[in-house]
Structure 1
Amino acid sequence: MFLQFALPGAMLPLYSMRLKELGFTPMELAICCATHGVGALLAPLGAQLADRYFAAEKCVAVFSLLSSLFLIGLAYAESLYLVCILTLFFWLLAVPMMVLCSTICFIHLKDPEREFGIVRLSGTIGWMLPGWILLALISIFPNNNLEGQASEQFIIGSIFGFIVAVYALTLPTTPPSPSKVDKFAPLGALKLLRGWPFATYCLCTLGVCITMPFTTQATPLLLEYLGIVQPWLSPTLTISQFSEVLSLFLLPMFLLRFGLRGSMIFGLICWTIALYILSIGEPVALVVPSLALNGLSVTCFLVTGQVYVNMQAKGDLKASVQSLLTFVQGIGLVLGHIMVGLLRSSSQNASNMREELVLAFQVAAVINGLLCLIFYCCFRPVFGKKSMVEVK
């Protein structure tokens, strides 16, 4: 996971800045960003290949190699059509790759409930690495013509992708497991929606993923307006990942102390507070520290949710159950990115970038506040045996 997360970690933080530099309008930028959600929507196909036909580690190797090539293309593409196509293909490969890596972990870890948080922690560290490597190169070699541009970080990320492609072939074999009952594995995963707690979790995950693009697409633009220079932009955004590293390390303690439900509610509250602060948009001394709340919300809601989803999976459906969650996230990402574009377009008469983004962050904060209420009232899972993540 350390190597794998460096690939999207190089691309996503500065992607909106890259498109702004190319002169894209808010709606054009939003459409390109929405391809991330399209990749998530089609991720179950990758899980289907792993679940039924091919070894998961071989799929990871192929997906990583190809996505690295598309990331290199993005470093040089300038036209709207080409950027959109390359981004789409990048996410069509990168999202299933990340899903399958999680599946490999859950299958081969002896105690996924206790161990997955630590494994996922290494992925968060990998996410931060490209931005800091680029900053280090600029600092150590000031005359190397590097400027901290997004395209330079894309190249660094692609190098990590090539390493993943080779390393994946050394992972433990995760062969396909054909089922005589469900010929199409994702259909078996859909049956879990019959349970009210699982359906509630999917609904709230959808809502959270609608609000996530408000930060991934708009926060870099806000930080640049507040005076964060470009070489420091990606490292500044890694405050979220530093917080995530700490909270992932403490995840087993969270689960023991607060239980699964309590930890996830805490994550939603943190995300709502973060969005509210971003809707204020200044001063920089308030906005930058608030990024730490993002890491807490990712760990306590999304990562803990992965553990919960894995507990609901049976037998060889683990990859497809994780992909069902990714599919739900994909719908949210598409809707969220388009909403950001529409809200920014409606605010283009604003005098500066902060005023242009205020309405978008306000809408996101209201949505997430409603999710907190829904989750608190409706998510009450019951486990068949005593567990470290029992409801509290």
Structure 2
Amino acid sequence: MSSTTRLQLSFMMFLEFFIWGGWFVTLGTFLNNNLSASGAESGQVFSTQSWGAIIAPFIIGLIADRFVNAERILGVLHIIGALLMYQMYNAENIATFYPYVLIYMICYMPTLALVNSVSFNQMKNPEKEFSVIRLFGTVGWIAAGLLISFIFHWDSAEGTKEGLLKNTFLLSGAASLVLGLFSFTLPKTPPKGKGTKVTVNDILGLDALKLLKDKNFLIFFISSILICIPLAFYYQNTNSFLSSIGVENPTGKMTIGQASEVLFLLLLPVFFNRFGFKKTILVGMLAWAVRYVLFAFGNAGDLTFMLLIGIALHGICYDFFFVSGQIYTDSKAGEQHKSAAQGLITLATYGLGMLIGFAVAGKITDSYKLADGTLDYKMVWLIPAGIAFAVFLIFALLFKDEKTNKTA
């Protein structure tokens, strides 16, 4: 790969995740303070991510893989996204905001696969080259959080009170427009499935359903759906929780989670090879429970360290469960169904699991709203901690340890 192409792909990946991190992290706080959304309404807004994940395979499978170059679709989707971001910026109530965010997520979620397609198409050795390119995506997410907290101060107590969080949509919208236009300069990535017949089974990975006949994989599949319930609480409530209890620069501090994700992604192969899949994934599940207990009993004063440790556990929570789960799925699927199996797990987690999770998180949040309009955050966090621990026990008792292809 030439240095010019490497720079192009790195910049593309940086902007791709800068856009997402620039508005999604603070979305819960924005909905609470700017649009006075209830917990259930916030859950519906966050669940648009799940609908986007469910619809994305159809856009990729029916259009990008058959008719149009990936970089051109990427450009069009991000330009449309920029226009939708501007409409979200102007929305004055949840009823107006929801349709725009729904359409936006349907446009954005397919771009996660498209940037990978454009990258892989330029690589001779993806196993060595892709991780460096993808790292710039994490850097982009972190950069967005640092800008919001430490440069613009939109998430400060004063900024939140003045409604400045809506500026995050302008920031992400501008980045989306830049990436949209920039995408047309990217290396050409023509459709590889042109002229071939694509079925719904191919798009959704339904051929991989036969893996569910394996008891161990079935337990893993169900656990993957269930663990997304406590995951939804993190996305929906963390930023608004930190803001409401007086933590300074909450969005910037939440980037600790992305930094830890990079660290534990590097440590994962060592842990996975030494202790195996079952112990690795159990550590990830237990980390969710510990994180929420820390949130429940931490505060913005002398116990701030508990909150920061909880945020830093994101690397273990995500990498040790989701990434090790992808490795396990790859080892179980066999050559013929590798892509289908990964698609099925993605549909189960970011689609079905998160859809259920945001609905549950919304109802629980509303259930613990106090008379003065504040939330009993101790209970809001202890409930997902209990759910995560229950999933931990189910998996520990029912999943039988087995040898996994550690080089997957």
Question: Normalising by the residue count of structure 1, what TM-score does the alignment of the two structures yield?
Answer: 0.83
Aligned residues: 378
Identity across aligned pairs (percent)? 25
Stretch moving more, 35-44 or 166-175: 166-175
Aligned 8 A contact 2:52 2:107 in 1: yes
Aligned 8 A contact 1:210 1:337 in 2: yes
Separation in structure 2 between the aligned mates of residue 171 and residue 372 of structure 1, nearest angstrom: 45
Aligned 8 A contact 1:9 1:130 in 2: yes
By how many angstroms is 1:307 displaced?
A: 4.5
Distance 1:310 1:67, change over 3 A: farther
Distance 1:97 1:198, change over 3 A: farther
1:223 paired residue among 227, 235, 242: 242
Residue of structure 2 equivalent to 1:162: 177
Residue of structure 2 equivalent to 1:19: 31
Q: Look up the SS of the partner of 1:250 in the other structure.
A: helix
By how many angstroms is 1:388 displaced?
A: 2.4
Residue of structure 1 equivalent to 2:165: 150
Distance 1:108 1:219, change over 3 A: same
Aligned 8 A contact 2:204 2:344 in 1: no
Separation in structure 2 between the aligned mates of residue 108 and residue 14 of structure 1, nearest angstrom: 34
C-alpha RMSD of the superposition: 3.2
Separation in structure 2 between the aligned mates of residue 179 and residue 373 of structure 1, nearest angstrom: 48
**5+ residue gaps, structure 2:** 1-12, 154-158
By how many angstroms is 1:10 displaced?
A: 0.9
Aligned 8 A contact 2:272 2:406 in 1: no
Task: Please tell me the residue identity of whatever aligns with 2:356.
Answer: L
Task: Please tell me the residue identity of whatever aligns with 1:236.
Answer: K
2:74 paired residue among 60, 63, 66: 60
Aligned 8 A contact 1:121 1:248 in 2: no
Task: Please tell me the residue identity of whatever aligns with 1:30.
Answer: G
Stretch moving more, 242-251 or 98-107: 98-107
Residue of structure 1 equivalent to 2:227: 208
Separation in structure 2 between the aligned mates of residue 103 and residue 254 of structure 1, nearest angstrom: 29
Separation in structure 2 between the aligned mates of residue 174 and residue 321 of structure 1, nearest angstrom: 24
Distance 1:261 1:114, change over 3 A: farther
By how many angstroms is 1:372 displaced?
A: 2.2
1:3 paired residue among 15, 22, 31: 15
Q: Look up the SS of the partner of 1:325 in the other structure.
A: helix
Describe how 1:50-129 pairs up with structure 2 within 5 A: 50-105=64-119, 117-129=131-143
Distance 1:108 1:301, change over 3 A: farther
Q: Look up the SS of the partner of 2:246 in the other structure.
A: coil
**5+ residue gaps, structure 1:** 140-144
By how many angstroms is 1:13 displaced?
A: 0.9
Distance 1:263 1:174, change over 3 A: farther
Aligned 8 A contact 1:51 1:316 in 2: no
Aligned 8 A contact 1:39 1:93 in 2: yes
Q: Look up the SS of the partner of 1:42 in the other structure.
A: helix
Residue of structure 2 equivalent to 1:340: 361
1:242 paired residue among 259, 269, 272: 259
Q: Look up the SS of the partner of 1:238 in the other structure.
A: helix
Separation in structure 2 between the aligned mates of residue 199 and residue 179 of structure 1, nearest angstrom: 35
Aligned 8 A contact 2:65 2:192 in 1: yes
Separation in structure 2 between the aligned mates of residue 9 and residue 73 of structure 1, nearest angstrom: 18
Question: Normalising by the residue count of structure 2, what TM-score does the alignment of the two structures yield?
Answer: 0.80
Distance 1:110 1:208, change over 3 A: farther
Describe how 1:157-196 pairs up with structure 2 within 5 A: 157-169=172-184, 170-171=186-187, 173-177=189-193, 183-186=199-202, 189-195=205-211, 196=214
